[in-house]
Amino acid sequence: MFPKLIIDLKKLQKNLDAVAEITKSRGGCSLMIVTKGLCADPGFAELVANHPKVDYMADSRVQNLASYAGMAREKGKKTLLLRIPMQDEVSEVIKFADVSFNSELCTIKLLNEEAEKAGKTHEIVLMIDLGDLREGIFFENEDQIMDTVSEILKLKNIRLHGIAVNLTCYGAIIPKNDNLSKLVEIARKIEEKFDIKLEMVSGGNSSSIYLIDKGEMPEGINNLRLGESALLGNDTAYETDLPGTVGDTVVLQAQIVELKEKPSLPIGEVGVDAFGQKPFYEDRGIMKRAIIAVGKQDTDLDSMTPVDPQVEIMGGSSDHTILDVTHCDKEYKVGDIVSFELGYGGMLKTATSPYVKKEYIK
């Protein structure tokens, strides 16, 4: 059945080995692998759980953690919830996450109550915002950071595991020695003021890994959280390929359902498309147009690269994608399969769509 997402587990293993080598062996950091980009795919989760260098398995969705928490714990990995918990889901968080990222004391107190009911100690990592302006207590509000830590330390069933920053997500701010050094500074201040040791000072996601090879990772950053770099081999700070990784770990395949010669310009008054956008068309004369049975409900058209370089994606709607195959050497016909390499957005959506079948290369 198509559309199909082909997941190459051998290539993913190679990428895991490569990022583990950089992060752990060279960088001296603990290694957290983030599974959300492949929607916690069971084949990938198994690779991660079995990887000797992985310390944490993380996801932004508690349902994804639930799918592999048992296996992860059995293999000695801690499970970690990346997205700040909803107050609505604290009981699931306590059940399936050993650690969670937090920034709101009121929610941390609810986690404490729930952990007490379950007879557990839940670990939390306090998020610090260094300027990317997504989650975390703003780094300049040091009193707020210290007050929050002081309150957390009073909670009997919560343990402060560390602090963390997230960058290059909302504000697209690139991690550097100077901003990450501020995180280390805050960690040392917390340790001194409260006479505690923070086990984790987490210096970001796949946009931070490049600092290790440049020798610019500040001393004291001791964890990285890697999703895209492990899945697709991308250094997301400067969009380069990490050494030893491959990018074509996942391939989307879709079937041609119509192939006809038509003009390149629609006929009639132009309104808005199915998504409320005013389209732009270029007159290329009569074209050979293929329609494949995959669309915006399954993937992100801007995040797909045809494996056949002579195929061009024209656009699409919820269930259809239109390809220009006019200049292809291959004679496409109805029923043929067209393959695409995926970027992060395409991988995320195809892995999440219930309409896309998954298949492994082992």
Residues with catalytic roles: 36
How far is the C-alpha of 296 from the C-alpha of 118, rounded, in Å? 42
Q: Token pair of 347, please?
A: 């991988």
- Smallest gap from Cβ 97 to ligand PLP, in A, equals 13
Q: Token pair of 277, please?
A: 């956008």
Place of tokens 């994608």: 321
Report, in angstroms and rounded to the nearest whole number, the Rg of the chain calculated over CA atoms. 23
Contact of 311 with 259, CB cutoff 8 Å: no
201 forms part of the interface with ligand PLP (CB under 6 A): no
- Smallest gap from Cβ 82 to ligand PLP, in A, equals 4
Which listed residue (12, 33, 34, 99) binds ligand PLP by CB under 6 A? Answer: 34
Residue facing ligand PLP at closest CB distance: 227
How far is the C-alpha of 283 from the C-alpha of 294, rounded, in Å? 25
- Smallest gap from Cβ 34 to ligand PLP, in A, equals 4
How far is the C-alpha of 54 from the C-alpha of 144, rounded, in Å? 33
166 forms part of the interface with ligand PLP (CB under 6 A): yes
CA dist 182 → 60, 148, 258 (Å)? 25, 18, 57
Task: With contacts defined by CB under 6 A, name the span among 13-21, 31-39, 67-75, 91-99 that binds ligand PLP.
Answer: 31-39
Query: Residues touching ligand PLP: how many (CB under 6 A)?
Result: 14
* 82 vs 338 by CB, closer to ligand PLP: 82
- Binding string, 77-116, against ligand PLP, x = CB under 6 A? -----x----------------------------------
* 83 vs 95 by CB, closer to ligand PLP: 83
Q: CB neighbours of 265 closer than 8 A, spacing ≥ 6?
A: 281, 283
- Smallest gap from Cβ 176 to ligand PLP, in A, equals 16
How far is the C-alpha of 341 from the C-alpha of 331, rounded, in Å? 21
- Binding string, 283-322, against ligand PLP, x = CB under 6 A? ----------------------------------------
- Smallest gap from Cβ 64 to ligand PLP, in A, equals 12
Site for ligand PLP in 222-251 (CB under 6 A): 225-229, 236
What angle do the packed helices 42-50 and 9-20 form, to 10 degrees? Answer: 40
Residues 192-228: b if buried by 16+ CB within 10 A, e if exposed: eeeeeebebbbbbbbbbbbbbeeeebbeebbbbbbbb
- Binding string, 43-62, against ligand PLP, x = CB under 6 A? -----------------x--
Catalog residues that contact ligand PLP under the rule CB under 6 A. 34, 36-37, 60, 82, 166, 205-206, 225-229, 236
